[in-house]
Amino acid sequence: MFLNELKKGDQANIVRITDDLFRTKLLEMGIMPGTLITLFFKAPFNGPIAFSYENSLLSIRKEDANNILVEKMMHHK
CB atoms within 10 A of CB 3: 24
73 touches other proteins (CB under 8 A)? no
Strands, E assignment, 1-77: 11-17, 36-42, 49-53, 56-60, 68-72
Subset of residues 1 to 60 that bind other proteins, contact rule: CB under 8 A: 9, 20-30, 32, 38, 40-48, 50, 52, 54-60
Least CB distance from residue 16 to other proteins, whole Å?
A: 13
Nearest C-alpha neighbor of 10 from the set 30, 37, 34: 37
Tell me, by CB under 8 A, how many residues bind other proteins.
Answer: 34
Binding site for other proteins (CB under 8 A): 9, 20-30, 32, 38, 40-48, 50, 52, 54-61, 64
